[in-house]
Structure 1
Amino acid sequence: MTFNYLKQNPRWFLLDCISGSTAYNLNVKGSDTDKKGIFIMPQKQLYGFTQTAQVANESSDEVYFEIGRFLELLTKNNPNILELLNTPKQFVLYRHPLMELIKPEDFLSKLCLDTFAGYAHSQIKKARGLNKKINKPMDEERRSVLDFCHVIYNDGSVTLTEWLETNGLAQDQCGLVSLDHFRNGYLLYHQTQLTEGSFRGIISGPEADDVQLSSVPKGLAHLAVMNFNKDGYSVYCKEYKEYHEWVTKRNELRYQSTLSQGKNYDAKNMMHTFRLLNMAAEIAQYGEVRVNRPDRDFLLKIRNGEFEFDDLMLMVEEKMMEIGELYSTSPLPERPDLQKAEDALLEIRAEFYTAGYQ
């Protein structure tokens, strides 16, 4: 099963819905129209090797889950799946009668506290990530291993680069040997100390990701003791890669909108944070998933950057405390009933295939 095959053969659809901001009642000018749905694999594929859990178009704004995968995620109270199952009727493009066998109320549980709050925290993480990227932009040119090396000097330490410049030395004429019992510690020597041969240099070149060792004649006195902050360099490389991937892939219009609002966080991520938290509270209070948001005005104020980041963080903390109390007294079961999910899956497959779909 592929996305294109499914779209060309709609008989395999069980559910087809408009989702995302339109279903949430949070769409604004320029919002994309997303779609989600459920399909059932042809029986021959189900019994064969070519099983498919989900399919999507290239931009991933249309995603369809195979009924088995859908019910599996439903028993884990996945927010996207619960939202899909509870799509408002005006946004349901097609719904097979067999979907009546899956009742939303049969699968809501206290697990929603973890799943919805977990998704909310992932949105906060993204918002904080943008906060950091805006306030601490990284240079285009990547720093070298040498920038993370320091030399003991005058009862303290200086950067290796500074030490080399002070002594009129070049790194490619130096040699290192490991210093026993000192993690990432090295003894440093220079070419001028040799009567024959040469040292390899501290690093092999600008793209090196570690220092390199040289053979040093026995008894040769070292010029300095050097430390390479390898852990710091690894963290830097990871952040450098993530930052420049973000610059390359970021939605420039959304980013410029954030800057124009004078904020240093992703307002859309924060809007979804509160949407998820409010939905989690409603599940505990009312035992239902309210996809179409009654708090649209408040959520759009967040999206429009009308709050400061620190104030939103305080509101998140208050909301989390409120939700925790709601779930502690909620009559919801601890977890969804797996047997109901399996019974529904077996009945749907049996009736669908018996109807002549192979």
Structure 2
Amino acid sequence: MNITDLKAQNLILLEVISGSRAFGLATETSDTDIKGVFYLPKDKFYGLHYIPQISNASNDIVYYEIGRFTELLLKNNPNIIEVLASAPECILYQHPLMQQFSLKQFLSKQIQQTFINYACSQIKKAKGLNKKINNPVDSKRKTVFDFCHIIDQQHTYPLNNWLQQRQWQQHQCGLANIPHATDLYALYYDENGNKGYRGIMQHENANDICLSSISPTDPFIAYLSFNRNGYSTYCREYKSYWQWVEKRNEQRYLTNSQSGQDYDTKNMMHTIRLLQVALEIISHGTVTNKRPNRQELLDIKHGKFSYTENLHKVDSLLSQITEASKTSSLPEEPATAEVMRTLINIRQTLYNNHQTGSTPFTGNQPD
């Protein structure tokens, strides 16, 4: 199933504007994110292939099956709590049955842990971008050669340099294992090219060195050390970096680069926003998606604070949340039994409407 199927079969129960536009943090370059809720037809729900969510290719439009939506609400998932707490102006469509759900059923002291965990993951993402921004990986991929060194008497030399100094060709070299010496090899050279050596690597893009059959009478030249772990690490970092380049949001990348900060400023903005929302929930039992401190949050996004300054903000919010939780009137856990009755009632009503042939929806369907 896809989004077109959901709309064609009238399966959507809720559709809201989410993300920066819901938070009051949209700028000229902001996308419009959509989140929503759908229900599976009875035959699919009871079948073998439950579908928990459906999204578009860019993942900026996501619909959750009502069972999955409820499950995430009971876990106090920040993104899903925000969907249920959508302001009226952000609700594009709402089936009357969805009004049976209320925030009061879900908000609990679990918020403290789930929001903090989510915020901490944003901090990790924010700092993780530092390495990619400040340590770009050259587009020309290194080879096995770049991780090989020659041990000649008491000195080591990069393999390429060592071969060039002797005007030797790698394909005329032969390597043999040295017992009990990991990634250390004996190197031999065939000046006439008639001994059948296979070279150090078979082709330029090879991911390993190559061994040859060596005659006991062939003269030993030197030892070759292959930094296999270093090469493997480089390959992972090369792949990760260029996949990031291919998929990165260029506007977001430029914002981070131009701000001169060594972290992902947008992730840090959302870290602080999440913690502010958590403090509001713990203290007052309410959720306000549209933030009253738009300028402060945009200043964070635009890199006007150092990473250390933002961490001080985070630490202050964490302390306030911890203190507020001591006197919070929120229950320890969501009203799970009540929520399950509501979910079952909604699903039964929807399926009964289909069986009787009555129209399951009133009001306008989302386009």
TM-score after normalising by structure 1 = 0.89
2:311 corresponding residue in structure 1:
313
Identity %: 44
1:187 corresponding residue in structure 2:
186
Question: Equivalences for 1:1-358 in 2 at 5 Å?
Answer: 1-10=1-10, 12-192=11-191, 196-218=194-216, 220-327=218-325, 330=328, 332=330, 335-356=333-354
Distance, in Å, in 1 between the alignment partners of 2:69 and 2:154 is 65
Distance, in Å, in 1 between the alignment partners of 2:224 and 2:323 is 55
In structure 2, the CA distance between the partners of 1:166 and 1:303, relative to structure 1 (3 Å rule), is: same
Map Cα deviations across residues 288-347 of structure 1 (whole Å, 9 max, x no partner). Answer: 333221222211111122112333234334444544554466565555454444333212
Map Cα deviations across residues 172-198 of structure 1 (whole Å, 9 max, x no partner). Answer: 22122222222222222212498x522
In structure 2, the CA distance between the partners of 1:189 and 1:129, relative to structure 1 (3 Å rule), is: same
Distance, in Å, in 1 between the alignment partners of 2:347 and 2:20 is 32
Say which SS state the counterpart of residue 255 (structure 2) adopts: helix
Say which SS state the counterpart of residue 204 (structure 2) adopts: coil
Say which SS state the counterpart of residue 151 (structure 2) adopts: strand
Distance, in Å, in 2 between the alignment partners of 1:320 and 1:260 is 30
Map Cα deviations across residues 116-162 of structure 1 (whole Å, 9 max, x no partner). Answer: 23332333333323322221111110011111112223424222222
Further displaced range: 27-36 or 217-226:
217-226
Distance, in Å, in 2 between the alignment partners of 1:309 and 1:13 is 41
Distance, in Å, in 2 between the alignment partners of 1:52 and 1:314 is 42
Task: Report the residue type matching 1:251 in the other structure.
Answer: N
Say which SS state the counterpart of residue 202 (structure 2) adopts: coil
Further displaced range: 311-320 or 148-157:
311-320
Distance, in Å, in 2 between the alignment partners of 1:326 and 1:126 is 27
2:361 corresponding residue in structure 1:
none
Say which SS state the counterpart of residue 197 (structure 1) adopts: coil
Distance, in Å, in 1 between the alignment partners of 2:334 and 2:264 is 34
Say which SS state the counterpart of residue 203 (structure 2) adopts: coil
Report if the CA contact (8 A) 2:272-2:313 is conserved: no
Say which SS state the counterpart of residue 234 (structure 2) adopts: helix
Say which SS state the counterpart of residue 127 (structure 1) adopts: helix
Further displaced range: 121-130 or 242-251:
121-130
Question: Deviation at 1:227?
Answer: 1.9
Say which SS state the counterpart of residue 355 (structure 1) adopts: helix
Say which SS state the counterpart of residue 268 (structure 2) adopts: helix
Task: Report the residue type matching 1:286 in the other structure.
Answer: H
Further displaced range: 340-349 or 15-24:
340-349
Say which SS state the counterpart of residue 36 (structure 2) adopts: strand
In structure 2, the CA distance between the partners of 1:23 and 1:190, relative to structure 1 (3 Å rule), is: same
Question: Deviation at 1:209?
Answer: 1.1
Question: Deviation at 1:221?
Answer: 4.5
In structure 2, the CA distance between the partners of 1:323 and 1:146, relative to structure 1 (3 Å rule), is: farther
Distance, in Å, in 2 between the alignment partners of 1:350 and 1:23 is 32
Question: Deviation at 1:251?
Answer: 2.1
Say which SS state the counterpart of residue 132 (structure 2) adopts: helix
Further displaced range: 205-214 or 175-184:
175-184
> Which structure 1 segments of 5+ residues have no match?
none
In structure 2, the CA distance between the partners of 1:283 and 1:216, relative to structure 1 (3 Å rule), is: farther
In structure 2, the CA distance between the partners of 1:124 and 1:206, relative to structure 1 (3 Å rule), is: farther
CA RMSD of aligned residues (A): 2.5
2:360 corresponding residue in structure 1:
none
Distance, in Å, in 1 between the alignment partners of 2:108 and 2:218 is 71
TM-score after normalising by structure 2 = 0.87
Question: Deviation at 1:68?
Answer: 0.8
